[in-house]
Amino acid sequence: MYKRFVERRAEEALSDTPVVLIVGPRRAGKTRLGRKMEEAGKSTKSDSNS
């Protein structure tokens, strides 16, 4: 998978902020980004749609 611009921005935001909200249109890769970051140990995910 290609490293996306938003992935780097989310990592930067998580470095000094406890919560980062990822929003966007359907099929934009929001869930994939959250899961990828969770697998890498960079975040934990809480989602009301899980």
pLDDT 10s digits, 17-47: 888 888 889 988 888 888 888 887 776 666 6
Residue 39: predicted pLDDT: 84
From first CA to last CA, the distance across the chain in angstroms is: 23
Could you write out the DSSP letters of every residue in 5-48? Answer: HHHHHHHHHHHH-S------STTSSHHHHHHHHHHTTS-----T
Give the other-Cβ count within 10 Å of 10's Cβ: 20
Chain centroid to CA 12: 11
Any idea where the domains of the chain sit in the sequence? 5-39
Residue 33: predicted pLDDT: 86
Query: pTM here?
Result: 0.67
Residue 2: predicted pLDDT: 60
pLDDT over threshold 60, residue 50: no
